[in-house]
Chain A
Amino acid sequence: MPDWKGLIQNRIASLWLTPVAESDLSEELAQHLEDRYRELLQGGAEEAEAYRQAAAELDDAEAIRGMSKRSQRVPRSETVPIGTQGSGNWFIDLGQDLRFAVRMMRKNLVFVLFIMLTLGLGIGANTTVFTLINTVLLHPIPVPHSSGLVSVAGSEAARMSRSGAAQPISYLNFKDYQARNGVFASLAGYTTPRPDAQYRSRLGAPLCGNGHRQLLFDSRS
């Protein structure tokens, strides 16, 4: 018996029918062609001629496009049974996967929040570590022998913040340290721009050392 279903499925593949609709349609048309084929054989036709005439009924490609009912096409929200093969259309499968993912997330909100928190912390930690490595290793301060660069900060008890963070040093103290320096190759100070210009004199440019240790002051006070 000729493989009518295979022949039909080739012709209707472009209709994007649901698997069930495609199976039903190919079965129905295959029965029709088989009946026609047997009728031709009974009428005395040779097998090859009977096959040719029966298969010729599928030749109208334009009419084949009218074979599907709208409801038989793959809908936007089709329920896909477990184990069903993909449709072969990447976009249709992607849409189904996304809708499935959203439905599953709505069912397990706590799990979704936990995943989001984990991802957030992971991304944050990675960003922090990368920033550190990028600054220290990949883009170090543009001075020679930067590994010999040290930072000095004030440590007066009265000026220590509650958090114990290092405190800035005044410009006058910086000048004293610079004048009495016997340890470092050179000294430099820096400050951050402030809206009040009266602190302008506290801004110092970094000084480059000559192979010895360098001292970098924070003179923002």
Chain B
Amino acid sequence: MTDPMTPLERTMTAISQKEPDRVPLFLLTTMHGAKELGMSIRQYFSKGENVVKGQTILQKKYESDCYYGFFYASAEVEAWGGEVIYIADGPANAGRPIIRSAQDITSIGVPEVASCENLKKITGCLTGLAEKSAGKIPVIGVVMSPFSVPVMQMGFEAYLDLIYSEPELFWELMKKNQQFCADWANTQLEAGANAICYFDPVSSPTCIPPELYRKTGMVVAKETIARIRGPTATHLASGRTLAIIDDIATTGTAIVGASALEDIGDVKRACNKRLTVLGNLNGIEMRRWTPAMAEEKVIETIARAGKGGGFILSDNHGEIPWQVPESVLLAISKAVKKYGTYPLDA
């Protein structure tokens, strides 16, 4: 019997559209680390070393194939001068928008990543995780796409009004956000991340029509990803992907996250070996699954998308809710080992 692959080998084999020893599992737990350390979510994310400890424990416990250096999306808005609102049982939210008028878009300055104190705990965490990994476990960093972060910077309604009504101001904001995003992604890669997850929910056909995406989010993604000096995975955070798969494949990204609203087999076929598909266990429903249901969902998902590689099992959103119990996560982990070993059963 050959030695099992390391998580990094397993993941890289899958991304090269070949079958590794088993289906890679990216169990994207973030807040669960706080539970492991007996801390509040706020306390847990106050120090990078807490997240290093939490991710190390979680990876070992669930045998996930990555370390996930994601804290919370609003950390980026915090870097731009915004407020973060912590809650006891969920991810931190962005507070009042920092862009409240057209003038604010023109006057707002792009934060220099190196001088953002709140981002230093994240880069410190990535460095710590890279040390723990010793080249065996992929370390994933995260950015919000320049096209999607305005939802937190200015609110979704104002942002949609901007996209439809103020194209010049829209592009002015995109240029600023692209500068920050590329800088932040490259800083994470330098700190130890092996790849960057490019969260871009607004680009999803769930949020904007594909023809508008091709004139906006896709252009932004192509330009931004070209400036990121490492591999990227595009995640539409529960949003549908199918109608824009061909477009996403031209942006230079390697992986796409699939929505639970779509058949992951259809998404994989549409990817046609140009992209690896990640997903698509329903994180919201997962809260009330039994271990038997979790096993059934894993079997079904692997059956739809596992064959031939090019597939990583994960949730559909890029973050598993705090409310999902340990018993379900353990059942997912156990099932992927039992039913995800290649060659798969017919």
Q: Are these two chains actual partners, yes or no?
A: no
Interface positions of A (Cβ within 8 A of B): none
